[in-house]
Amino acid sequence: MDTNLLLTDEEYLQKFAGKHETPYIYKLLRGNQALFYFGVRHSRKPDDPQWSQLADEWGKFIAATGEKRAIMFEGGQIPTSTEERDEAIRKFGESGALLFIARDAGAELSWPDPTMAQEAEKLQTMFEAAQVAYFFFARSAGAWLRSGTMGTFDEVLAKAATATSTRIPGAPADVGAYSVIHETIFGHPLESAQQEQLIRASAPVYHDSVINDIARADSRFRNEHIVTEVEKFWNKGYSIFMLFGAAHAVIQEPALRALVNG
């Protein structure tokens, strides 16, 4: 796998951000193998129209492939015995939607992202440990604030602090510690008026602070790790259905096309 073919976040921002369709969908075929990529718009809304597109693409994947199939999901592993469709989507977003759609397919399930501990270990070789911990805190809090389904601002911060401390060795468990880090970086307290800044903090496309630098380094590490895992499944003869955010789909496309066409 030539990971040098992955787009950088800067290349994505300059050439593609805001210019591609979302969901971003492509299909790569070689012999009796297929790689279908559904670059999703992250959502936990059961009435999101992209779920019907997801079901259509899954049906096409089933029709085009044999029994040796794998599904690759973004993020950490979730339970496979989900409840009803709407509840699965509210809990797990697009992963819950596809697990429901593909529940009887017998496909192998894989979550090829590195663990947060692996991400943190890599990032701590380049940045201060406190800044790395804040990045993961902000990433969780920002995602949950965008979804609007995880409670009030203060409730989200408490959940994000707990989640970060349980996954990152040595990371603080209390919001107060992250508030101190936030004020050191941004010059003002962490409060609800700063919600948008907190959401932007862990996004690689911005340049507001060192936390965005960490986000870009993490994005590169994640994308390299993901396509390397895809290569392992592909070389074992699997057809693969990938469900990741649309930006990942675009960034990874040149490397995946080279893999399939090679």
Domain check: are 22 and 149 in the same one? Answer: no
Residues 97 and 37 both lie in one domain: yes
Higher pLDDT, 149 or 105: 105
Q: What's the pLDDT at 82? A: 61
Q: Are residues 167 and 230 in the same domain?
A: no
243 φ/ψ angles, rounded to the nearest 5 degrees: -130, 95
Whether residue 95 contacts residue 75, with contact meaning beta carbons closer than 8 Å, is answered with yes
pLDDT, residue 248, reads 96
Instruction: Based on the fold, state whether residues 155 and 196 are members of the same structural domain.
Output: yes
pLDDT band of residue 194 (cuts 50, 70, 90) is confident
Kindly state whether residues 121 and 110 are assigned to the same domain.
no
Residues 82 and 46 placed together within one structural domain of the fold: yes
Task: Supply the pLDDT for residue 81.
Answer: 67
| Domain span including residue 171 | 116-218
pLDDT tens-digit profile of 228-239? 999 999 999 999
- Average the pLDDT over 166-188 and give the result: 95
Query: pLDDT class for 147, splitting at 50, 70, 90?
Result: confident
216-239 mean pLDDT: 97
**Last residue within a domain, chosen from 183, 200, 218:** 218
**201 and 121, same domain (yes or no):** yes
Whole-prediction pTM value? 0.87
Looking at the 3D structure of the chain, how many domains does it have? Answer: 2
